Each structure stands twice: as structure tokens, then as C-alpha cells.
Chain A
Amino acid sequence: MSAQAAAVHGGGEYASTGIPNGKLGVWLFLASEIMLFATLFTTYVVLRISAPSWPRGWEELNVPLGALNTLVLITSSVTMVLAYAKAQARDKAGFYRYIGLTLALSFVFLIIKSFEYKAKFDRGHFPSTNIFFAIYFTLTGLHALHVIGGIVFNSGLALWGRRHWDHPLFAGRVECAGLYWHFVDIVWIFLFPALYLL
């Protein structure tokens, strides 16, 4: 493949894999993230079935707010994939509309989460209160850090794109940002029922 074709193709494609290096790198990173969250998830299961008593999620957590946040994050995944579609279609206004919506929804998620945390703290529930809240704050806190990471990356990408819209790697970077963001969505898709609904 000529250099020009490689640039058109999204750039950075390594000949022996046929996959852009950045994209393969993100997938390897996500593989390590799967192991991280799977380990914590298994820890949760083992602690729960070994505990003398354990609350049902809805007794301690706010199911309507958790469900609302699930819808917010799923919607942000849709706006993210639409941002990628617009970046591919070279529609700059469309891209900024959808990446802006994704960022706005990310903040909505964190704001709702902070209301939930505030309610827990007001009732004297902290990570040190018991194993249930230790697990709850660890899993949702780590997930919230990932949301913040996504906000940082997506904001950086949006800023970078203003000057480098025509950069051959731009659409590929939007795809990589999307892969990460959808992963954060998938983690919440498991955390919500596991913590709130069971």
C-alpha cells in the first residue's frame, strides 16, 4: 500500500496486521481493562456469597437514579458512534454536534453519580462502613474515574480536531476514543444490575 493510500485509509496501518497501530493498541489496553474489572467483579461475587448477610441492591441504592444513569450512558454511546460516523463522512459540524452531546451526557452521568454519593455520605455510608459499600464505592468509583478519563480524551480530541480536521489519523482517533467510551458503557451495563438490582 502506498503512503498516500495508507493516509487515506486512516493512516498508521501496520503492514503485517492490517490494523492501524493505535486501534490495535486500544484493543490491547481494553483487554487489560477487561481483566481489571473482571477481577473486581469476581471479588464482589466471592465476598457476597461468603458474607453472613448482604442487602439486596435496591434496599440501599437508588434504582431510578441508577437506571437513569444507564440510559444516559447508553445514549452517550450512541452519540459517540454517530460522531465517528460524521468524522468518517467528513461532516465537521455533525462531528462537533455529536461529540459535544457525548461530552454533555458524560457530565450528566457524573452529576447524577455525585448526587447518589452525596445521599450515601449524608446517611453515613462510606467505603469503610461495610463490605457492601466498600465494593459499591470501589466499583462505581473506578468506573467514574474511567468516565473522567473519557471526558479528558474526548475533549482533547475535539480541541485537536479544530486545527487538525484534515489530519489523516483524525477519523481513526475518533474510532479509538469511541472504542474506549463504549467499553466504559459496557462496564456500567454490568455494574448497574449487579449492584442495584440483585
Chain B
Amino acid sequence: MNARNHASAAHVPHVRLYLAIFGALIFLTVLTVLVSYLHLPKAPAVLIALAIASVKASLVGSFFMHLKGEKALILAVIGVTLFFAGGLLLPLYDIAGSPTRVSQPWPSEQADKTQ
């Protein structure tokens, strides 16, 4: 029975907690839709939408997927993955700041057209 108690202690079903998280997720969904109706400029709109989505994802991960208090090995697997997934965004520093980021015709294509 000790093993059983130990097992359930790791994931005690907190129905009330789940319902509170549910309420928070509904609230944040409504909030992100309402903010979108303000038709804000692109930069603040992206920041706010991604911030709200990240909070929602953290709530689902922490409580529904029980990452809060999860074993270190699983946290490490997800942490390393998120680190490298974030690395995918690194080239955007260059692309977003470049004045010629909008697809330009290649010089060779332009040469073809003038011929």
C-alpha cells in the first residue's frame, strides 16, 4: 500500500484545481480574441497573442500534463527540446531586420528577363 500511496501522492487528482485552470484557460481565450478585435499594430499584437498563448500552454503543461513536480529526467527532455526549438527562431534576427527581406528576384532571373 505504501507504493500505492506514493504513486498517488505524485498525481493526487485535484479536481477543483483542474476546474480553476479550466476557468483561467477560458478567460485567456476570450481575452486573446477580444484583444485581436482592437486591431493593434503588428508588433504589440504579436507580443500579446504569443504571451497569452505561452501562459495557456504553461498552464496545460504544468497542471494537466503534471509537469509541475515532474521527475527531473522528463523536465530535462522537454527543456532541451524547447531550447533547440527556440533556436529555430535565431535566423529571424537577421531576416526581420533586413530591409530587403521581402523576396527579391535573383539577379540571374532579372538578367533572363532583360534578354
Residue positions of A touching B, CB distance < 8 A: 1, 5-6, 8-10, 17-19, 23-24, 27-28, 30-31, 34-35, 38-39, 42, 45-46, 49-52, 56, 58, 63, 67, 70-71, 74-75, 77-78, 80-82, 84-86, 88-89, 175, 178-179, 182-183, 185-186, 189-190, 192-194, 196-198
Contact = CB atoms under 8 A, between A and B. Distances in A.
B11 A52 contact: no
22 contacts: A9-B4, A9-B7, A18-B71, A27-B77, A28-B77, A31-B81, A38-B88, A39-B88, A49-B101, A50-B103, A52-B103, A58-B36, A70-B29, A74-B29, A81-B64, A82-B15, A84-B11, A89-B13, A178-B65, A182-B60, A197-B32, A198-B49
Given A81-B18, A193-B53, 19 more contacts: A5-B2, A10-B7, A19-B71, A19-B73, A27-B77, A31-B80, A46-B92, A50-B102, A51-B103, A67-B29, A67-B30, A67-B33, A74-B26, A78-B21, A84-B13, A183-B65, A189-B57, A197-B45, A197-B49
Contacts of B63: 81
B18 A78 contact: yes
A9 B85 CA distance: 33
Contacts of B11: 84, 88, 175
A179 B60 CA distance: 10
Contacts of B18: 78, 81-82, 85
A80 B26 CA distance: 16
Nearest to B81: A31
Given A28-B77, A193-B53, A45 B92 contact: yes
Most chain-A CB neighbours within 10 Å: which of B33, B61, B63? Answer: B33
A45 B1 CA distance: 52
Q: What class of interface size applies to chain B in its complex with A?
A: 35 or more
Contacts of A9: 3-4, 6-7
Contact of B57 (A178, A190, A198): A190
A194 B49 contact: yes
A75 B22 contact: yes
Contact of B102 (A10, A51, A63, A194): A51
A198 B3 CA distance: 49
Given A42-B88, A85-B13, A63 B33 contact: yes
B42 interface: yes
A182 B59 CA distance: 11
B111 interface: no
B64 to A, nearest CB: 5
Given A74-B26, A89-B13, A46 B91 contact: yes
